[in-house]
Amino acid sequence: MKAPLYNRFVLPEAQRDSLNVVLVSPRNPLNIGAAARAMANFGLRRLAVVAPFDPTWREARSAIGAPELLTNTVESATLAEAVADCTLVVGTGTVTRRKPEQPVVPLSDLASLVSQELARSGRVALVFGSEKHGLTRDDLSYCQLLVEIPTDPLQPSMNLGQAVAVCLYELTRRAESSPATPVPSATSAASSGRLDLLAEVIEEVMQAAGYSPRAMQPSNRHDLRLLLRRLSLSARDNRRILGLFRRILWRLNHIRR
């Protein structure tokens, strides 16, 4: 039986569990419920909430038609934890009051980028910031891209639940024009968690080599996180570089002893 016109472009069943929606420090439980409802509208079911402000968020009455999705939502303490298994992390927001440190893509290009990543068996996270200030500079350092939702400069911010719905609608609206061509698994990208592991080892090498004073370490950590994501490392290259820096670290520590 042919699918109705209005819903034939939702993600294929096999890809739905590979797209995560992540809400960072949401303040209003009703917005979390609205996001869950929007996900249910488009057939998605993997929602993660990072450090929610209100501990009663699972009781949100706005999750109409999506109580099970809200019950199964994963709560994480940090964004790093929430996106650890994702190979493409896309932040959302506006550039009206910030200078982004990663490529900014229009919302109309989101479907193509997501489709390409899912086609090579990757996992995608679409990350939304809190209602109060959006994604912070530190949050965005975990993102390869920033997608901008077009809004009027006089009112650039958007309700959290509405922002989720708009992005998911754009994914389905352009799905037909963004066919997914399978890519060999050998080119699979390194996950966010593996990039963070590499960053930790490189930072240990920098400290062992006396690269910078302690006061500069937080800034170096932030810049290193961004750099590794800009490199678009494959999983295989990430393993090789990790092994290289571990060997250097061992040698530095051995010399000091």
Query: Which of the four pLDDT bands, split at 50, 70 and 90, describes residue 186?
Result: very low
HSE-up (13 A, CA, CB side) for residue 32 = 33
Query: Which of the four pLDDT bands, split at 50, 70 and 90, describes residue 171?
Result: confident
pLDDT in tens, 76-99: 999 999 999 999 999 998 777 778
Q: How far apart are CA 178 and CA 113, in angstroms?
A: 9
Mean pLDDT of 133-140: 92
Can you tell me which residue has the tokens 């996270």? 125
Please state, for a pLDDT cut of 70, what percent of the chain lies above it. Answer: 90
Q: What tokens appear for 173 in the block?
A: 């609206």
Chain-wide mean pLDDT for the chain?
87
Quick one: pLDDT at residue 10?
64
Query: Which of the four pLDDT bands, split at 50, 70 and 90, describes residue 214?
Result: confident
Three-class SS state of 56? coil
Query: Which of the four pLDDT bands, split at 50, 70 and 90, describes residue 1?
Result: very low
Query: Which of the four pLDDT bands, split at 50, 70 and 90, describes residue 175?
Result: low
Mean pLDDT of 25-40: 93
Query: Which of the four pLDDT bands, split at 50, 70 and 90, describes residue 244?
Result: very high
In this predicted structure, the answer to whether residue 151 has a pLDDT above a threshold of 80 is yes
Quick one: pLDDT at residue 192?
97
Mean pLDDT of 7-15: 69
Can you tell me which residue has the tokens 């966010």? 192
In this predicted structure, the answer to whether residue 44 has a pLDDT above a threshold of 50 is yes
Please state, for a pLDDT cut of 90, what percent of the chain lies above it. Answer: 59
Quick one: pLDDT at residue 84?
97
DSSP per position, 114-182: HHHHHHTT--EEEEE-BTTTBS-HHHHTT-SEEEEPP--TTS----HHHHHHHHHHHHHHTSTTS----
Mean pLDDT of 30-54: 93
Nearest Cα residue to 106 out of 117, 86, 119, 92: 92
Mean pLDDT of 37-42: 92
Q: How far apart are CA 126 and CA 223, in angstroms?
A: 22
